[in-house]
Amino acid sequence: MRALVTGAAGFLGSHLCDRLIKEGHSVVGMDNFITGSPDNIAHLAGNSKFLFIRHDVANFIFVPGKIDAVMHFASPASPNPTSPYGYTNLPIQTMKAGALGTHNTLGVARAHQARYLLASTSEIYGDPLEHPQKETYWGHVDPIGVRSMYDEAKRFAEALTMTYHHYHNINTSIVRIFNTYGTRMRLDDGRVVPNFIQQALRGEPLTVYGDGSQTRSFCYVDDLIEGIYRLLISNEHLPVNIGNPAEISILEFAETINRVVGNPAGIIKQPDLRLGDDPQRRRPDITRAKEVLDWEPKIALEVGLQRTIPYFREKLGAA
């Protein structure tokens, strides 16, 4: 199989490229480096199974040669307004990636009659009124809120993907990705995992905003990529949640990182500076993933953190 992966230099996209190549497939990676990093794919330079094209998916896409699969992963994804890589600071680019990028990548899939996989997000559920979140839940989203450039871009992307499936008979699938962590996350993207790990490695107290009772469910990147790959080679067309259903409060998560790193500095609480509409609870219902993909996460949180922390330690040492 020869696959086009957009967002190939991003956190998830680069791991996906590695997995596809490991399985014997060829990859055409595409990225404009607005949030991705060349470092994430540097190890693929010179690999005969990897071709890189620097390109903005909001513009017409041309890829030489036959394409058997298209995987659209290009988009800013951090909600942190203090990060230059957060989607609130890249609002137009975020909406273009979700709308024009989805349209253009679906066009490639249609031209080649290729398998198409859209990277969607748990954010399409908004601040959920249902817990845990099933794929049948329609969501609780403000279409003009402070997060809408990301939430609505992804919701539109899902609608367009299903329209191409029904109207043009494209073989599509949609993965709704929940919080994921691992190597190749940007140190400066402002999300909770890199923020906490860096503070802990510096011996600083971890900063928790609000009372820390808000929850998340953290999935290690290898588990997530396994689920995505299984979805790619499946015949499932409806959205599938991929994430870890082990729910943990942000305060407990901070305590876990301090324990794994061995940081005695503790935790400090600050006034809640999170972006408006921030979900108070987040936990995937993965029943569909178990049934149609025979998938569930295998890697425990502390094990995944032990695999992730050395990467951050090395990056901090080089900074």
- Residues 316, 156: Cα–Cα separation, whole Å: 38
End-to-end CA distance of the chain: 38
Whether residue 85 lies in the annotated active site: no
| Bridge partner list, 208 | 269
* pLDDT of 82: 84
Would you list the domain boundaries of the chain? 2-318
Angle of CA points 138, 144, 145, to nearest 5°: 85
Residue range 2-318 forms a domain whose CATH class is alpha beta
* pLDDT of 200: 96
- Residues 127, 140: Cα–Cα separation, whole Å: 6
* pLDDT of 279: 74
In the numeric block, which tokens belong to residue 294?
């025979």
Of the candidates 87, 125, 150, 164, the residue annotated as catalytic is: 150
Range scoring the smallest mean pLDDT among 96-105, 205-214, 271-280: 271-280
Given a cut of 60, whether residue 208 has pLDDT beyond it is: yes
User: pLDDT tens digit string along 31-77?
Assistant: 999 999 999 999 999 999 999 999 999 999 999 999 999 999 999 99
**268 contact partners, CB below 8 Å, separation of at least 6:** 205, 206, 207, 208
Angle of CA points 194, 278, 151, to nearest 5°: 95
* pLDDT of 274: 55
Q: Is the pTM of this model over 0.85?
A: yes
User: pLDDT tens digit string along 225-269?
Assistant: 999 999 999 999 999 999 999 999 999 999 999 999 999 999 999
Given a cut of 70, whether residue 318 has pLDDT beyond it is: no
* Whether 9 contacts 29, CB under 8 Å: yes
